[in-house]
Each structure stands twice: as structure tokens, then as C-alpha cells.
Amino acid sequence: MLASSWLIPLLPLVAFAFIVFFTNKRPKLSSYLSVGAVCGSFVLSVPVLFEVLKNPITSEFKFTWIDLQGFTIQMGILIDPLTAVMLMVVTIVSMLVHIYSIGYMAGDPRFSRYFSFLSLFTFAMLGLVLANNFFEIFIFWELVGLTSYLLIGFWFEKKVAADAGKKAFITTRTGDLGFLVGIFLLVSAAGTFNFNQIFHQIEAGSISTGILTVSAILIFAGAVGKSAQFPLHVWLPDAMEGPTPVSALIHAATMVAAGVYLVARTMTLFAASSSAGLIVAIIGAFTAFLAASIGLVQNDIKRVLAYSTISQLGYMMLALGLVGLTAGTFHLMTHAFFKALLFLGAGSVIHAMHTNDIWKMGGLFPKMKITAITFIIASLSISGIFPFSGFWSKDEIFAVAAEYHPIFLLVAIIVAFMTAFYMFRLCFVTFFGKPRDKHKFDHAHESPKVMTIPLMILAFLSIFAGWLGIPWLAKGYSSFVFFHHPHHAEPKIWLMLISTIVALSGIGLAYLIYYKGSISAEKLKEKFSFPYKLLFNKYYFDELYQAIIINPIMGFANFLFKFDLGIIDWLVNAFGNFTLFISNVKEWFDTNIVDGAVNGIAWIFKKACTGLRQIQTGYLSNYILVIFFGILLIILFKIA
Amino acid sequence: MNIPILSYMVFSPILGMILVMLLKKEQVQGIRWVSAIFSFIPLILSFFLLANYDPSTSKMQFVEFHKWIPSLGANYHLGADGLSVPMLFLTALLSFVSIIGSFNINFRVKEYFAFFLLLETGMLGVFCALDFFLFYIFWEIMLVPMYFLIGIWGGPRKEYAAIKFFLYTLFGSVFMLVGILALYFTVEPHTLNMMELIRRAPELSRGFQLIVYVAFYLAFAIKVPIFPFHTWLPDAHVEAPTAVSVVLAGILLKMGLYGLLRVSYPMFPKAALYFALPLALLAVINIIYGALVCMAQKDLKKLVAYSSVSHMGFCVLGIAAITVTGISGCVFQMVSHGLITGALFLLVGVLYDRAHTRDIDAFGGLWVKLPVYSGIMTLFCLGSLGLPGLSGFVSEFMVFIGAFPVFKVIVAIAVLGVVLTAGYFLRMIQRIFLGEFNPKWEGLPEISGREIFTVTPLAILMIFIGVYPMPLANMIRATMENIVRLVGG
């Protein structure tokens, strides 16, 4: 049964190939193929879950993919409770996004293409979840990156969209550098890529702590990129330039979930190195705070949601860093549902209003009841209001944080307050009050059923999915997905009370400012103009990176190119020219000196001969005269 | 094996050349098809090689041996092992594809194809010659047609590029000749048999090995090219006609690496170990420097040319590591780069033929107008930037994993190249294919069937090796293990 799970990712891949090669010209058919494939994946994932629930052990199926000295890889699938849960989350959210897209993308000229990418995306994420070794997970990791590049930049005629896709790809790949080197380090120490084998070695203590810490931190760098944690969080807010259902998928079940999943999958590593774990937790907590604070003041509905995603991912990292596998993955699951719902709801609003700016919306509640109600349900869930899903999962995280150090709990609580505030700021401004743009308001309408039904299903899940993890439940989530042994913390009533009070006060403040208007937002803005500007401009991260990373690299590249032409190639040419110069000198030397010498000698002889020829008169009398004088000279010489 | 299959492979292009020369120069179609057929024969034969190659041994196979010039000790000696076979196949494939891709040449057609076929013989010969005399002849024979192909059918600066290429390479091969002579006179009894010389390598003193290694290195490093001997490459690649760029990048560059693995490593193992670290440093310079220079390019063809410098760095890094995985990664990268960069040059040519410009900034939004072309081009760019599932990823990963245990820090730096590569390719894709459509290119026709045909086999192989590298890995394994054993002792 489990052995045939490889079919789960395969179906969407087949759909992708089929659309690209055959049904590209037939949009309807393409979308059905794509939806059918993901539904098939879902149907196949359900028995996997039940099988694992019945018998929660780790099963692995593999075959040899390459076998060289020092490089042997057995590709395969690994199924354990974590995988089973992730399969459910990914297939459900993906399926709903697929269905919703039929309505949302209707009439797009590249409709088929959109669905082929969506299928590829689902394939990549499912493959990632099922991977049994570091090499395989990296392959799917990169494919997830590629498909989000393609989908974020789907409307590539818009420069911002094309830019955003590129930014996502390159930023996440920067994190992947660490991931790669981390894999190299770990694999060269362990001698295998296989997860289970590596984890066994770690637990047996046969890999030194130093290597574990360094490789854990490096691998985490990959997760920082994918899950948009500080300092690589900058790509995610821009990624909303893609079609909204894609944002839902990226922010909920795929792309960003991959980073969290990676850390969860390699929990052994972070558990073995407490310092690496602590770094994960600190980055998580810091990111949660940073992003939530930016989310307070953004005006674009999707941008607020994007920062909220970053912030919630920070929560998950916080929990995972403190070895709270249950809490981290539980929140990953509940978050997937309510965040998908928020994005799809936002998409429904955008579909109706043709704008992202919340200050052009308002009073939409009566016009879009389903969208509004489901959106509010999701907001209550993310804010952590009893008894919605988010309440239970956030509570788990609080419990983990409280157990480790109060400072983590404090940060978590502050973030919870901000979350409740910015979510209800959105709700009040968008759905209540007076319509701000009359023209747009008049054209607004509820979305078609194909879009609202997914919203309702997700709303259901946003309320009830968290009930699986109610701490009083005997066989709840915590007894299914856990690290080493189930974490049966006593339910802390005081913590639940605090979190409820905090969330309610966040909502209350938003109510006072944006619904009642008893506190003026404008006045606050003026009073705190510096922090407001700082937050509104997202702490100037983009500008900073442009100035300290991108510009220097481009400058250096241009310099090197000039260096290449001006120095290295110049030297080559100079060498050539020098040779030419030498030849010229040689030629001159040849003609003037060598040849000159030859000619000179000839000339000397010629001149000499001409001179000597004078003697050769041919007259006998002259010769006798010379002989006579000659003898005379000899005689004189002898006498002397 | 009684059939002299390697000789058939090597000399069928020459036969084609003779036939082409017998045709009248007006019979353009005839010339094209004769060339296509006679470059197809080696391709068929190379399939025969692949099918009959026994991967369980590192011994030379398909060996042919005849006495040739006894007074010199020069023999006609051919053979192929796990290093040669993939290269022979790649050469046959790219030559055939390039000849099909050259069907649009209309200027002095007869000479063009004659030169091209001569070039193919030279390339095939280098990859299976086992006698230094023969090896040197094939090595030099390529220069002549290459010189004319660039010099006559090239771009605006063709004379400069052709002369630079010719002289630069010749400069290197003179050192090789000196090296060959030094070897010949040092080993008693004198021999030019490369297999024999490898057997006798342990007799050579360390000092001698170091000196001769450097002489050969100059010849090979210029061909690869390894920094700082790379500046002939952008000029030659950019000025050469499309098909010649394909062969230049796809095959000629590999000869340097082939030489390192066939000659330098087995014959001068002590020198190979001595120079491993400097070689690795040069490799990482190639990778990073090449990638950074790519970022500054405005000319599409020049970008692809410099990307070769960067990609060859990975090969060199794999060689420098002297591990089975590293060297295998190098061979994988040789094949992979041949496929990918070959295709990229073909595709750049497709665009240039239509638009008559290669200025990256002159385009914009072409995807709307040319979806098929854009899709194919993007696929190969992704292959080049090392996307998993495509051959470039497997080879880069193997190089890294093979070199990491030896050079930890160097590999960690080289990995940077992966991001830089993604950077310049995505930038290029964005400027040419994405963004707002530039209405200037309204009339640009889509890629033709013939052009798709030329890149299809390359795409199929790129994906095949990326998804299932086992067959290639098995084929080269025994030979790679042997090389490492010879060097490592």
C-alpha cells in the first residue's frame, strides 16, 4: 500500500507533461487534467494517512540511483507521521487552490500554462515531502523554487512581476548555498545521504558536535531562504505579484512550508546541537516580531498577509528551534488552512474590486457575505481566538516557549497582539465602514461558486483542524507527530487565558481605531512619524540590500569585465604585439646588421678589389718595375 | 572486435569531404546532404560504441594497431575507454547537429562543409588516438579548418579572432610538442605509445614530471581555457558562425580536459598531486570570475561564451580533487556542458539570424511573440544554471561532493558560482523574454522545424542524464577509478 505512494507526486507531473505537450491549446481540458491529478493525489494520500495512523512507524522504499565511489544515492520515499500529515495539508490546500483558480483565472490568455505550472508546483512539493535523503529533498527543493519563480512571474508583461519572480529565485538560492555546503559537510562526515542512516549516526554520537552545529546552521540557511526568515525575508512580500491563488499556495502549503518542513524533517540534527537549535529559535522569534511590526502599517491587502505569513513562519521556527516538533508542525498545518483562506478571500475581494489597496475598499460585507464571513473566520483563527484552529496551535507554541525561557514567551505574546491588531485592521477597513471608492464599490459582487466553495471548505478547516490538537484529547496530534516521545505537557490554563486576552485586546484596539474611529489613525501617524516611516518602508531592507549587496556585485562584475579586456586580454595582445615588435626589430637587424654585414663584407671586397684591380694593368713593363722595386726593398731591408 | 570501427568513425567525415570537393559548387543542396550523411555515419557508429562498450574494465577497447613509421616508433594506434566513448559520442552528435544547423549557410558553401568535415575528423581522432604522433597530428589538424571557418564565415572582427585563436592554440601546442619529445627521449627504449608511457610513468623522476607537466599544461589550459588563458574564447566564440561556436564550446574546450585526464594525470602522477591545489584555486577563479564577468555582458553570445569559462571551472575543480566522484563529475560536466552550451549557441544563432542583433537590452517581452523559442531557450538556461532534473545539476553536484572532502573552503567558495549563474541567466531571460513586449520585433518569426530538430536531441539527453545518470556513471566508472588509482598510487 505505502510502497505505491510514489504515485502521489507522479500524477501532477503527468498532468504537467500532458498539458505542455498536448492540451496547451485547450484551456478547459488542461484545467480539468490538472485538477483531476491533484484530486487523485489527495485520494491516494488518504489511505497513507490511515495506514500510518494505524501503525505509526517509519517506512522507506528506495532504489539505487547512482553508485560511484563516494557518491551513492538511493532515491526513494520515506513515510512517517510527519509525511502523512504534510501530504494531507499539501494535497488539500493545493486541490482547493486548483479549483478556485478555475474561476479566478478564467479568461486568462495563458490559462493552460497556468495550470501546467500549478501541477508542476504540486509535484515538486509532494516530492519534497516524500524525499528520503538530502539529495532528493534538494532536487525538489530547487524545483519548488523554480515553479514559484514561474508562477510569481506569471504575468511577466508587468515588470514588477518579472522582477519579483527573479528576486524570489535568487534570494532563496542564496540561502541554498548554505544548504548545499551543509549537505556536503554532513554527508562527507556520515558517508551517506539517507536521512535515517544519518540520524542514526547522529544519535549514536558518531558525528562530532562541531560538524553537527555547523552543518545544522548551514542547512537552516536554506530554510531561512525558503521560509522567508530574516535576513532573507525580502522576497516573500514581493511574491504577491503573482496571481492570488498562487500566493495562497506559496504562503500556505508549498514554498514557505518547505523550509519549516526541512527543519522538522532534520529535527534530530537541531536536537543534537542545542546551539544550532537556539539560533533557529532566535531567528524565528526575531522574524516573527519584525514582520508583524511591518504588517501593522501596510496598505496593500496582500502585503499585510505576506508579512503575517513571515511572522507566523517565525513562530514555527521558534517552536522547532526549541525542539517543539509537535508545536511547529501543528501550527504549520493550521496556518496552511487559515492562510490559504485569507489569501483566497483576499483574491475574491481583489477579483471584485480590481485593486489591492484597502483604502479603496470598505463596506463590502453586505455585498460579499461568503467572502467576508470566511475571511473573518480565518482572521479569528490566526489571531488565536478560542476555539478556532489557530488558538490551539499557537497555544502549543506558547507552551514550548514558556518552558524554555520567558523572553521567548514575551516575544510570542507581543507578536500575537500585533497579529490580532493588523488582521482586524484589514477586516474592519475592507468589509465595514463606508465604501471609499464609489465606482469600484458599485461594480463589486460576490465571486462565483467555484471560488466560494473552496473558501467555505477552508473556513471549516480553519475552525476545526486545530481540534485535533486539543491538549485534553487522549490521542490527539501530539501523540501522532512527535520527536522521540510524545510531548504531554499539562494544558496550561493561565497561558490560554493570557493569549485570549492579548488577542482580544488587539482586536479591540483595531475596532476602536478603524471601526469606531474613537482613536484617530492619522493622529497616531503624525505623533509617531519616525517609527511609522520606518515600518512603512519595511525597515529599508530592500534599499539596504541594493546598496550593500547588489550594487557592489554589479560594480565588481563590471570592473572584472574591464579588467578582463583591459589587463588580461591586453597582456595577450601585448604579447602578440611584442612578438611582432621583436620581429620588426629582427627584420631591421636582419636587413641592416646581418644582411648589412653580408653586404658590407661584399662591399669591402668589392671596394678592395676595385682598388686592387688598379694594380692589374696587364703591362709587362709595370710588373717588371714592381718586381725590381720589390727586390730593391728586400735588399734594403736585409742590409738594415 | 575485427571491424575497425574507430577508423570508420574518424575517417568517414574525410570521405565526405572528398565527395563534397568533387561536387560542383552550385550543387548546394547536394553538398549539404552529403555532409549531413557523412557526419551522420559517425553518429550511428558511436551508438554502436555505446552499445558494445564493456564498462566493467578500464582497458582500452576497439583497439586498432598498425605499424606506421617504424624509424620514429610512430604507430597507427586507436582505442577507446570510458573517457573516450562519451566524448566520441558527444563529438559525433554535436557535429551532426551543427551541420544540420549550418544548412542556412549560403556563402562559399562547398568550402564551408569541406572544412567542417575535416574538423570533425580531427576532433574524433584526438579522442581515440593512443599514439603521441597521431594525437599531435589530429590536435593540429583541427586548427586549420577552424581558422578558416572563423576567418571566412565569421562576424565583423573575424580576422582578429581567427588569428588570435590560431596563434594562441599553436603557442600552447608547441609546448606540448616539446613535452612529447622530452618524454620520447627520456623513456628507454624510446616510444610514442601513450599506453606504454603510462605504464612507464613510475620511472619518471619527480623533477622531470613537474617540468613536462607544465609544458603539457600550457597546451591544455589554453584549450580549456583556464584563467588567465581564456581571453581568446570570447572573441572566437562571438565571431565564429553559429555552428562553429557550437563545436568550439561543445567539443574543443573538452580537449584540454581530456588531455589532462588522458596525458597529464596518468603520465605525471607526482606532478598532478603537486599541482592539485593550485589547479583547484584556478578552478574556483574560473567559476567565480567567469560568472561575474557574465553579469556585465550586454551581448548575448558573449554571455554564453563567458558562461563557458565559468562552467569549465567546475570541470577543473573536479579534476583537481583527484577523487572518483570529482573526476566523474568532470566528465559529466563535459558532456552536460557540451549539450547545454551547444544548444544555447544554436539558439542564440536562431535569434541573431532573425533580429541581426545580440544586444540583450534591444529585446523585451519576446515570450508573448515567440513562446516556443522562449520556452526552449529558458529550458536550456535552466539547465546551464544547474537546475535539478537536468544534467548540469548532477554534474555540478558530483564535482562539489567529490571535491569537498579535499578542498572544503574552496568548494564552499565555488558554490557561490551557483547563485551568480542563476543571477546572470535570469537577468538575461528577463530582459529578452519577459517584461513589456518591444513592438520593434512584431515581425519576428517563430523558431523553425529544422531549428527545433537540431536542439531536440540535446534537450532529451540533458533531461535523461539529469533524471537518470546511472548509465553514464556506470560507463565511466571503471576508467575513472583507474585514473585515480594511477595518480594516487
B479 Cβ under 8 Å from any chain A Cβ: no
Q: What per-residue confidence (pLDDT) applies to B353? A: 87
- Does the beta-carbon distance from A67 to B436 stay under 8 Å? no
Q: Chain A: give the shortest CA distance to residue B284, in Å.
A: 15
Residue B85 has pLDDT above 90, yes or no: yes
Please report the pLDDT score of residue B181 as a whole number. 92
Q: Which domain holds residue B290?
A: 275-489
Backbone angles phi, psi at A76, to 5 degrees: 175, -170
Q: Which helix (H) or strand (E) holds B214?
A: helix B206-223
User: Where does residue A484 fall: left (phi above 0), alpha (psi -120 to 50 degrees), or beta otherwise?
Assistant: left
- Is B309 among the domain residues? yes
Flag if A177 and B419 touch (Cβ within 8 Å).
yes
pLDDT tens track for B379-433: 999 999 989 989 999 999 999 999 999 999 999 999 999 889 998 999 899 889 8
Confidence of residue A223 (pLDDT cuts 50, 70, 90): very high
B406 inside 8 A of chain A by CB: no
- pLDDT per position as a tens digit, B262-291: 999 999 999 999 999 999 999 999 999 999
Using the predicted structure, report yes or no on whether residue A68 has a pLDDT greater than 80. yes
Any chain B CB within 8 A of the CB of A636? no
Chain B residues in contact with A72 by the CB 8 A cut-off are none
A423-476 pLDDT per residue, tens: 999 888 888 888 777 777 777 788 888 888 888 888 998 888 888 877 777 777
The pLDDT score that the predictor gives to residue B489 is 52
Q: At what angle do helices B132-141 and B109-128 cross, to 10 degrees?
A: 150
Residue B382 located in a structural domain: yes
The residue of A19, A20, A66 whose CB has the most chain B CBs within 10 angstroms, and thus the best one to mutate to test that interface, is: A66
Using the Cβ of A556 and the Cβ atoms of chain B, whether some distance falls under 8 Å is answered with yes
In chain B, how many domains are there?
1
CB-CB: which of A68, A159, A169 is closest to B426? A169
C-alpha of A267 from chain center: 20
Residues A75 and A63: their CA atoms lie apart, in Å, by 6
Q: What is the pLDDT of residue A523?
A: 79
A39 touches chain B (CB under 8 A): no
pLDDT score at B413: 92
Q: Please, which residues 267-306 of chain B have a Cβ atom closer than 8 Å to chain A?
A: 289, 292-297
Chain B residues closer than 8 Å to A153 by CB: 434
Interface residue A160 vs chain B (CB under 8 A): no
Model confidence at B1: pLDDT above 70: no
Q: Do A156 and B365 touch (CB under 8 A)?
A: yes
Q: Kindly report whether the peptide bond that precedes residue A454 is cis, defined as omega within 30 degrees of 0.
A: no
Q: Which residues of A touch B379 (CB under 8 A)?
A: none
Q: What confidence score (pLDDT) does residue A284 get?
A: 93
For residue B346, is it within any domain?
Answer: yes
Q: Give the list of residues 6+ apart from residue B299 with CB closer than 8 angstroms, or none.
A: B238, B358, B359, B360
Is the per-residue pLDDT at A487 higher than 70? no
pLDDT tier at A488, thresholds 50, 70, 90: low
Of the ranges A478-487, A494-503, B228-237, which one carries the lowest mean pLDDT score?
Answer: A478-487
Whether chain B has a CB inside 8 Å of the CB on A66: the answer is yes
Does A544 have pLDDT greater than 90?
no
Residue B359 bridge partners (DSSP): B299
- B386 to chain A: closest CA residue: A142
Name the residue among B175, B143, B97 with its Cα closest to residue B252: B143
A vs B, Cβ pairs < 8 A, gives: 135
Q: What does the pLDDT look like over A287-319, one tens digit per residue?
A: 999 999 998 888 888 889 999 999 999 999 999
CB contacts under 8 A, A 71-100 vs B, are 71
- Domain membership flag for residue B313: yes
Cβ-based neighbours of B363, under 8 Å, separated by 6 or more = B355, B431, B432, B433, B438, B441
Hey, are the CB atoms on B411 and A184 less than 8 Å from each other?
A: yes
- The answer as to whether B454 is a domain residue is yes
What is the reported pLDDT for A1? 63
B319 pLDDT higher than 90: yes
Give yes or no for residue B441 having a pLDDT over 70. Answer: yes
At B124-136, the pLDDT tens digits run 999 999 999 999 9
Asked whether the predicted pLDDT for residue A511 surpasses 90, the reply is no
Identify from B317, B324, B404, B407 which residue to disrupt to test chain A contact, counting A C-beta atoms within 10 A and taking the largest count: B404
Establish if B466 belongs to a structural domain. Answer: yes
Question: Which of B398, B394, B378, B374 minimizes the C-alpha distance to B386?
Answer: B394
What residues in A contact B389, CB-CB < 8 Å?
A: 139, 143
Q: Classify strands B61-69 and B74-80 as parallel, antiparallel or unpaired.
A: antiparallel
A69 and B365 in contact by Cβ < 8 A? Answer: no
B339 in a domain, yes or no?
Answer: yes
Percent of chain A with pLDDT over 90: 26
In tens, the pLDDT along A155-206 reads 888 888 888 988 898 899 889 999 999 999 999 888 889 999 999 999 888 8
User: Confidence class of residue A545 from pLDDT cuts 50, 70 and 90?
Assistant: confident
Going by pLDDT thresholds of 50, 70 and 90, the confidence category of residue B378 is very high
Indicate yes or no: CB of A166 within 8 angstroms of CB of B168. Answer: no
Helix axes B132-141, B143-153, angle to 10 degrees: 10
CA gap A165, A159 in Å, rounded: 10
Residues 6+ apart with CB under 8 A from A79: A2, A5, A48, A52, A58, A59, A60, A130
Contact (CB<8Å) A180/B398: no
Among the listed residues B52, B240, B82, B66, the one whose alpha carbon sits nearest the alpha carbon of residue B153: B240
- Average pLDDT on A76-97 reads 91
A-chain CB neighbours of B360 within 8 Å are none
Put simply, whether A547 touches B (Cβ < 8 Å) is no
Partner-chain contact B295 A187, CB within 8 Å: no
pLDDT at A490: 67
CA triple A364-A370-A373, angle to 5 deg: 75
pTM for this model (two decimals)? 0.89
Q: Quick one: three-class SS letters along B130-158?
A: CEHHHHHHHHHHCHHHHHHHHHHHCCCCH
Indicate yes or no: CB of B418 within 8 angstroms of CB of A166.
no
A325 and A483 Cβ atoms separated by less than 8 Å:
yes
Give the pLDDT confidence score for residue B259 in this predicted structure. 94
Q: What is the mean pLDDT of residues B349-373?
A: 88
Nearest-by-Cβ selection for A569 from B231, B423, B435: B231
Rounded percentage of chain B residues whose pLDDT exceeds 90:
64
Q: What does the pLDDT average to over A52-73? A: 84
User: Which tops the pLDDT comparison, A640 or A400?
Assistant: A400
Q: Is the pLDDT of residue A66 over 90?
A: no
Residue B439 covered by a domain: yes
pLDDT band at B145 (very low <50, low <70, confident <90, very high): very high
Instruction: List A residues 389-428 in contact with B (Cβ-Cβ < 8 A).
Output: none
Give the per-residue pLDDT at B397.
92
Q: B400 and A180: CB-CB below 8 Å?
A: yes
Task: Report the pLDDT value the prediction gives residue A489, as an integer from 0 to 100.
Answer: 60
pLDDT of residue B328: 93
**Res B312: pLDDT:** 94
A384 vs B311: which has the higher pLDDT: B311
Mean pLDDT taken over chain A: 87
pLDDT digits (tens, 9 = 90+) for B164-221: 899 889 999 999 999 999 999 988 888 888 998 998 888 888 999 999 999 999 999 9
Q: Which of chain B's residues have a Cβ under 8 Å away from the Cβ of A157? A: 365, 368, 434-437
